[in-house]
Structure 1
Amino acid sequence: MSPRKAPALHGTDLSLREHLIATATRLIAERGTTGLTVRTIAREAGVADGVLYNHFADKEELLALAVRAHVRTVGRHLGELPTPGHGSVRDNLRAHIVYGVAFHKAVLPAFAGLIGQPKVLDAFTASGAPGEDWRDQLRGYLLAEVELGRLAADASVDAAVAMIVGVCHETVLTGLLYDASAPHGLSDEFVDDLVGTVLNGIGQARP
């Protein structure tokens, strides 16, 4: 005889562990991680506080898995990234930059409450699949274009990645820290300038 299903799971196909992760993921998407407690997660999930510790080593493990689920959900909603060898490199870089800003705008608030929780951040990093994070996908895209001969063989891929990711971070963080009411985006003109600088450099003036 199979065990009775917990009342909180009626009408779902989830295990209790999956239900707790899904509940924490929803709360993170709605409220961020600041002040998110075991009691809040348990109440939203419709279970007793102590139940969490039957399925996770600690609160940090649950939070890390929930943040990872939130990040993956955001990525799915943003759609597919460009495929190496298809379209122009310039347009593909534009698409990566637009994606990167939207991605950071959606996920960075979730990390605000985790700055002082290195255990959660370490567990979050460990929970990812190799190459799944957007920075890794951007790097993989550029390396693939080098292999295809559409970028120079000696292209400074890591420097280009750092430049693009840095712009995405700075754009979103500036808005979050200094002017939350301002739109956290980049103008089309700036994106074009950034792509041009990545591809062509800033150049030295001739004497």
Structure 2
Amino acid sequence: MPTGVALRDVREQLFGAAERILLRDGPDALTSRAVTTEAGCAKGVLHRHFTDFDEFLAELVQDRITRIGAQAHALTESAGTGTVVANLTGALTDLFGTVAVSIVSLVIFRDELRARLRRTHRTGIPLLREAGEMIAAYLRRERELGRIAADADIDTLAPTLIGAAHMRFADRSAPPEPEQVAKMVTTVLAAALPG
């Protein structure tokens, strides 16, 4: 293991290593040793920056939640352009086609991680809750523009889209084709789309 190598932005290198492990090998393979090995640094580097592995994981989740904010802004800005189905298909694919499915698994199955996240995220499953808020904000904007029915129940549609997309992407061996995601979005929104 390299020990005298200067690391730039250690947190991002460690987070990137964790994401690569999650994408390649799944949540069960994520250990502090695996992360530091993937990052090419000594194991002690992780523990110099985080009190323990669960703090590292909590910070990883929080960092990925922050990234949803940027995605939410871009999705809301797309309102009124393209089609509602295409915009949501792209957003859900971007969200769940990455590491989000594995991070949700981590949150669900690691008790200590979930307990730490509950200190700042009182309800719902972190990451999924923020994704649902992103979809709801977009749907509200499209409703204001008349591209979603005025009586659409956005508080039901948004989590339904998130849950359905999560289920579609949960099988890491075979992510859905864009056409399958679009069909799911169209089905969920059928009553809310004018015409």
Shorter-chain TM-score bucket reads: 0.5 to 0.7
Q: Larger Rg: 1 or 2?
A: 1
Mapped to 2, the partners of 1:137 and 1:84 lie a distance apart of: 12
Q: Is residue 34 of structure 2 the alignment partner of residue 40 of structure 1?
A: yes
Instruction: Name the aligned partner's letter for residue 87 of structure 2.
Output: A
Q: Is the 8 A contact 2:85 2:186 kept in 1?
A: no
Give me the TM-score of the superposition, normalised by structure 2.
0.67
Query: Which structure 2 segments of 5+ residues have no match?
Result: none
RMSD: 3.9
1:198–1:123 CA distance, 2 compared to 1 (3 A): farther
Matches within 5 A, 1:58-207: 58-69=52-63, 80-83=74-77, 86-87=80-81, 91-106=83-98, 107-121=100-114, 123=116, 126=120, 133-147=130-144, 151=148, 153-173=150-170, 175-176=171-172, 180=173, 182-185=174-177, 186=180, 188-189=182-183, 191-199=185-193
1:203 matched residue in structure 2: none
1:69–1:168 CA distance, 2 compared to 1 (3 A): same
Mapped to 2, the partners of 1:190 and 1:24 lie a distance apart of: 30
Q: Percent identity of the aligned residues?
A: 24
Q: 1:96 offset after TM fit, Å? A: 0.9
Cα offsets for 1:157-176 (capped at 9, x unmatched): 10111222232123223x45
Query: Which structure 1 segments of 5+ residues have no match?
Result: 1-5, 201-207
Q: Is the 8 A contact 2:97 2:175 kept in 1?
A: no
What SS does structure 2 have at the residue aligned with 1:81?
Answer: helix
Q: Is the 8 A contact 2:22 2:29 kept in 1?
A: no
Q: Is the 8 A contact 2:107 2:113 kept in 1?
A: yes
Q: Count residues with an aligned counterpart.
A: 182
Bigger CA drift: 105-114 or 59-68?
105-114
Mapped to 1, the partners of 2:60 and 2:53 lie a distance apart of: 11
Cα offsets for 1:20-67 (capped at 9, x unmatched): 334333333433321322222233334433342221121011123334
1:20–1:151 CA distance, 2 compared to 1 (3 A): closer
1:64–1:25 CA distance, 2 compared to 1 (3 A): farther
Cα offsets for 1:67-123 (capped at 9, x unmatched): 45467779979x9425265236xx124321343145224321344355320332455
